[in-house]
């Protein structure tokens, strides 16, 4: 699908959506109201590895679930923005507060709420099973689908390009 790899040399930061990126988009809704998602353990390893290497990892998601926050905190992610209505506003504020140039950022999203942010980051990434409009604006499309190792794939590619994997 991709003809070439983007130039990852300037990347210092990964900003990720949750549903459809860190998960496959499946949500189990229990009678007690709890909504559960499955995360890929290899994605988790890659996130922890990137953080240990000094990369920044931030999460911006429209949904706000305690279980999601706990999973991200268990990976040592501290920049977690859940329940977000306007992802671009949160993204731009995060970059401002952290003094990060947008060109240093990979944003990975899979659906329409991610579109604006993908147009304002250094490299826009989409999982293989992202919505058609998102695939059309992505600078790179992973071989793996959301929740199936797509995050691991892109983190590994970036860190390998920096000889840090």
Closest CA to 91 of 103, 107, 76: 107
Q: How far is residue 38 CA from its own chain's centroid?
A: 15
Cα separations in angstroms, 19 against 3, 24, 37, 56, 62: 27, 7, 8, 20, 9
What gap in Å lies between CA 22 and CA 10, rounded to an integer? 23
The answer on whether 7 is annotated among ligand-binding residues is no
The answer on whether 133 is annotated among ligand-binding residues is no
Structure tokens at 4: 């070439």
Phi and psi angles of residue 140, each rounded to the nearest 5 degrees, phi first? -155, 140
The answer on whether 129 is annotated among ligand-binding residues is no
What gap in Å lies between CA 130 and CA 104, rounded to an integer? 23
Phi and psi angles of residue 29, each rounded to the nearest 5 degrees, phi first? -110, 115
What gap in Å lies between CA 47 and CA 61, rounded to an integer? 16
The binding site comprises 17, 19, 110
The binding site for Mg(2+) comprises 17, 110
The binding site for substrate comprises 19
């Amino acid at each position: 699908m991709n003809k070439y790899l983007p130039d990852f040399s300037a990347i210092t930061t990964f900003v990720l959506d949750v549903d459809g990126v860190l998960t496959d988009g499946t949500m189990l809704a229990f009678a007690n109201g709890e909504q559960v998602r499955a995360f890929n353990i290899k994605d988790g390893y890659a996130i922890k590895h990137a953080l240990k290497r000094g990369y920044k990892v931030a999460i911006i998601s429209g949904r706000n679930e305690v279980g999601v926050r706990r999973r991200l905190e268990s990976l040592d992610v501290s920049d977690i923005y859940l329940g977000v209505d306007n992802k671009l506003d949160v993204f731009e504020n995060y970059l401002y507060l952290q003094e990060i140039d947008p060109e240093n950022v990979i944003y990975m999203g899979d659906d329409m709420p991610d579109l604006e942010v993908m147009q304002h980051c250094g490299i826009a990434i989409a999982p293989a099973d992202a919505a058609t409009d998102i695939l059309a604006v992505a600078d790179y499309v992973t071989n793996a689908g959301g929740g199936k190792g797509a995050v691991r794939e892109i983190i590994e590619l970036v860190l390998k390009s920096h000889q840090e994997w």
